[in-house]
A and B are shown apart, each in its own frame.
Chain A
Amino acid sequence: MLSENGWVNFWRVLLLVLILVVWQWGDVVNNWLVADFEKSWRKALTIQILEPFFISKPNMIWARFLELGCFTDSKGAWITSQEGGFAGCLAGNTNNLWAATVATLRNTFWGFLVGVGSGVVVGLILGRSDFLAKVFEPFIVAFNSLPRIALVPLIVLMFGLGDASKIMTAWVIVFFIVFFSTFEGARSVDRDHINVARLMGASDWQVTWTVVIPSTLAWVFAVLTPALSFSLIGVIIGEFIGAQIGLGKIIIEAEATLETADMMVALFVLMIVGVGLALMIRRLQAYLLRWQSQFSERA
């Protein structure tokens, strides 16, 4: 008999197989239902969503994956046997799967870095200064209530179709997430922790470095996971609106050319990228917050 974990995995695999089977052969049922026009009542039973036009098919997606990834040519022959080989294929398509993934990841990384960095700095400054917090409050509230996506066309207009506009889009989203958390953190520094340092003769500057920043960083680290996924979201949206390269560009192009399989390839790569990034950031977070109960080994 299987252990509980074994059963969980059993059902997971079964579910996956089931999804793939329905996806691959679900349209056979539809075709049978509409095959005979006289029995038109059967038409009502067809499931439109199972049409390959909308969802493609696993084998078609796999073929497009191999082609977009420069593993095979358009006839399904391995690229290594072709003229120019792998490098030639990459050079022939500027938005090949590899280049697109690298571009999307690179911009996600920079958007994340710039967003977290600026969010922390501004959050710390406004969190520790009531005066500045009051001055800036209406501006922040106003800007924050604007749906960030509405800014993307403007950003593309200002920064062009290159990387800058993607990083900017990620930045305007990530900044606020990190800013609000840092601001809260900087305001809720334990007064007694500050007193401990002060009673030992700490200067204002030392209080900032030894108490305010470390205890605020706990709040920053706590939002690293959403910050990273929102950075990816920002970059993809930026690529939708205007780009020359990127996974978002593949998706939006596939929509225009009605190539569902291409879209599915990009979506799957995005899914893998998203899972990879989440695992990475969670490990980083667990290390940085190892002194907190939920990440501590012994607590």
Chain B
Amino acid sequence: MTEVSNGARSRIVLNELTKIYGSGGGQVPAVDAVSFDVREGEFVALIGPSGCGKSTILNMMAGLIPISDGEILIDETQVITGTPTPKVGYVFQRDTVFPWRTVRKNIGLGLELNRVPKAQREAEVDRLVERAGLGGFEDAFPITLSGGMRQRVSLMRTLIMRPEILLMDEPFGALDTHTKLEMHKLLLEIWNKEKQTVVFVTHDLGEALTLSDKIIVLSARPGRLKEVFDVPFERPRDAVSLRETPEFSALFSKIWHSLGEEFRRTSAEG
């Protein structure tokens, strides 16, 4: 599975990754022998119907939940549950900004935890506040911000650690279409500059096509690898105009067909 096609090395390798929830008679298979790899600087989208285990895969990659079988290697090192590595950043689906901290203190959290001196920390925070367009809201509490702004704070809180690998679990799932597009723009802008290796979980095909180099379609429960599509659109991309090109529509319907079978299976199971 670690074949190298365009010269870049594999940073993440999944080997027969399996997750079974519960024990004894009540075992529920969630992820079934999924294998793929993600190369240096690649933007990979994991897509599938809800309950297909895509978030479970991401959680296992981050070491948040234990693996039942198989393995995950990040830079040839096995991921061990509960021992996070600083080079991996994680953005949650839920709003996880700390409500009791201001925007500034939320973004600076990671540096604070790693005992970075205050002056350096503040300079770094200012840079990210600027980049996320949160200027003027540095000392606001999250309760006063919109959902989109809160998710930008989340993203910046992760990016301040300068992770080489970004794991994103449906980070824009709860946002309205317009805000979502704004976030796509921001994310593409950042990624074009820093070229992190990204695994992005979503159930929004348009979003996957806009952002990623490769789309991995997972089957309905238990999650198995169904099909892998390359997304050959040129970079840098414009999150809005890209959607109007015929290539986008063509690839959209092709993947939609593959995905559609899985969504139907999910709804048939009810």
Listed in ascending order, the chain A residues whose CB lies under 8 Å from chain B are: 190, 192-193, 195-202, 206, 210-211, 214-215, 217-218, 290-293, 296-299
Q: How far is the CA of A226 from the CA of B157 in the complex (A)?
A: 37
B206 at interface by CB-CB < 8 Å: no
CB atoms of B113 and A197 under 8 A apart? yes
9 smallest A-B Cβ distances: which pairs? A291-B141, A200-B110, A298-B144, A199-B84, A192-B96, A214-B100, A202-B113, A296-B143, A199-B90
CB atoms of B143 and A197 under 8 A apart? no
The residues of B that contact A201 with a CB separation of less than 8 Å are 84, 86, 110, 113-114
The residues of B that contact A200 with a CB separation of less than 8 Å are 84, 86, 109-110, 113-114, 161
CB atoms of A292 and B99 under 8 A apart? yes
Q: How far is the CA of A282 from the CA of B230 in the complex (A)?
A: 59
The residues of A that contact B82 with a CB separation of less than 8 Å are 198
Chosen A-B contacts, 28 in total, with CB atoms closer than 8 Å, are A192-B96, A195-B64, A195-B90, A195-B92, A196-B109, A198-B84, A199-B62, A199-B84, A199-B89, A200-B109, A200-B114, A200-B161, A201-B84, A201-B86, A202-B113, A210-B98, A210-B109, A210-B112, A210-B113, A214-B101, A215-B98, A291-B99, A291-B142, A292-B99, A292-B143, A293-B143, A296-B144, A299-B144
The residues of B that contact A218 with a CB separation of less than 8 Å are 100
In the complex, the chain A residue whose C-beta lies closest to that of B98 is A193
CB atoms of B96 and A193 under 8 A apart? yes
The residues of A that contact B89 with a CB separation of less than 8 Å are 199
In the complex, the chain B residue whose C-beta lies closest to that of A190 is B96
Contact residues, B183-221 vs A (CB, 8 A): none
Q: How far is the CA of A292 from the CA of B100 in the complex (A)?
A: 8
With A196-B92, A296-B143, A299-B144 known, 18 other A-B pairs at CB within 8 A are: A193-B96, A195-B90, A196-B96, A198-B84, A199-B88, A199-B89, A200-B109, A200-B110, A201-B114, A202-B113, A210-B109, A214-B98, A215-B98, A291-B99, A291-B100, A291-B143, A292-B99, A298-B143
Chain B: minimal CB distance from A159 (Å): 38
CB atoms of B96 and A299 under 8 A apart? no
Interface size on B, residues (CB 8 A): 26
Q: How far is the CA of A195 from the CA of B112 in the complex (A)?
A: 16
The residues of A that contact B257 with a CB separation of less than 8 Å are none
The residues of A that contact B64 with a CB separation of less than 8 Å are 195, 199
Which residue of A192, A202, A214, A215 contacts B92 across the interface (Cβ within 8 Å)? Answer: A192
Q: How far is the CA of A239 from the CA of B143 in the complex (A)?
A: 44
Determine the main DSSP class of A at the interface with B.
Answer: helix
The residues of A that contact B141 with a CB separation of less than 8 Å are 290-291, 296
B131 at interface by CB-CB < 8 Å: no
The residues of B that contact A215 with a CB separation of less than 8 Å are 98, 100
Q: How far is the CA of A297 from the CA of B140 in the complex (A)?
A: 11
Chain B: minimal CB distance from A212 (Å): 12
The residues of B that contact A296 with a CB separation of less than 8 Å are 141, 143-144
Q: How far is the CA of A195 from the CA of B86 in the complex (A)?
A: 13
In the complex, the chain A residue whose C-beta lies closest to that of B62 is A199
Contact residues, B52-109 vs A (CB, 8 A): 62, 64, 82, 84, 86, 88-90, 92, 94, 96, 98-101, 109
In the complex, the chain A residue whose C-beta lies closest to that of B92 is A192
Q: How far is the CA of A15 from the CA of B144 in the complex (A)?
A: 41
Q: Which of A190, A200, A214, A292 has the most B CB atoms < 10 Å from its CB?
A: A200
Q: Which of B90, B101, B113 has the most A CB atoms < 10 Å from its CB?
A: B113
CB atoms of A299 and B84 under 8 A apart? no
Q: How far is the CA of A198 from the CA of B62 in the complex (A)?
A: 11
The residues of B that contact A293 with a CB separation of less than 8 Å are 143
The residues of B that contact A198 with a CB separation of less than 8 Å are 82, 84
The residues of B that contact A193 with a CB separation of less than 8 Å are 96, 98
Chain A: minimal CB distance from B147 (Å): 13
Q: How far is the CA of A85 from the CA of B113 in the complex (A)?
A: 62
Q: How far is the CA of A199 from the CA of B144 in the complex (A)?
A: 26
The residues of B that contact A291 with a CB separation of less than 8 Å are 99-101, 141-143
Q: How far is the CA of A299 from the CA of B88 in the complex (A)?
A: 34
Chain A: minimal CB distance from B167 (Å): 9
In the complex, the chain B residue whose C-beta lies closest to that of A288 is B100
In the complex, the chain B residue whose C-beta lies closest to that of A198 is B84
CB atoms of A206 and B113 under 8 A apart? yes
Chain A: minimal CB distance from B201 (Å): 15
